[in-house]
Amino acid sequence: MLAIKQMRADHISKTILGKQYQEVISARNVVFDYIDKAIKSRWKEELSLFNNKSICEMLTHVANTYKYWITDFLLREQVVYWEGLQFTELDDIYKIYEEVNHDVQHFLDVFETDYKTPLTRNTAPDVKITASPLKVFTHLITHEFHHKGQIMIMSRLLNGVPPDTDIIRYP
């Protein structure tokens, strides 16, 4: 059984947005470590209170959201989404988040000097959204933390006792 390795943040840009994302990675590592040590045997259980979704599916949804907003919306590149049900091991989730980290670094490289200029994109045939790269990045982080909170509630429903997973954690 492979233990989840801590995601490295040292390869992320040292800009202010990169430093902010390093903090996100640090908090995410607490979640992965907790899942690995405390509820790994139940992380794929569907929970009726969460529309029959599992922690695995929630983590996959968050990763797919990064993919959509960075790769499709901002960078206008083709996206292949992940299906949570395809993953059998927590290491699989770890690998997709390494890809998310790579996508975020690519985003930081492209928009490092111009993250305030709004971009308008069609997101559906009759729907246009205008958002700056900074707004998209902020949305992604708050979206991840929203679902991280839900994952901690899900873990309680699975009889886990979740740790503090905030960016500022109390000992």
3-state secondary structure 100-115: HHHHHHHHHHHHCCCC
Angle at 145 between CA 68 and CA 102, to 5 degrees: 45
With tokens 């109390």, the residue in question is: 170
What gap in Å lies between CA 100 and CA 170, rounded to an integer? 27
What gap in Å lies between CA 18 and CA 106, rounded to an integer? 11
Q: pLDDT value at position 1?
A: 31
From the CB of residue 102, how many other CB atoms can be counted at a distance below 10 Å? 12
Q: Are 93 and 151 in contact (CB under 8 A)?
A: no
Q: What are the E-state strand segments in the chain?
A: 119-124, 127-131
The structure tokens listed for 64 are 């797919």
Q: pLDDT value at position 45?
A: 96
Q: pLDDT value at position 3?
A: 40
Q: Which of 68, 66, 62, 70 is nearest to 115 (CA)?
A: 70
- Residue-level pLDDT, tens digit, the chain, 171 residues: 334 455 565 667 788 999 999 999 999 999 999 999 999 999 999 999 999 999 999 999 999 999 999 999 999 999 999 987 788 899 999 999 999 999 999 999 999 889 999 999 988 889 999 999 999 999 999 999 999 999 999 999 999 999 999 999 887
Fill in the amino acid letter for 158: L
Angle at 92 between CA 110 and CA 70, to 5 degrees: 20
Q: pLDDT value at position 10?
A: 60
Q: What is the pTM of this model?
A: 0.91
Q: pLDDT value at position 6?
A: 53
Structural domains in the chain, CATH included, are 16-157 (1.20.120.450)
List Cβ neighbours of 60 (8 Å cut-off, separation of 6 or more): 82, 83, 84, 87, 93, 96
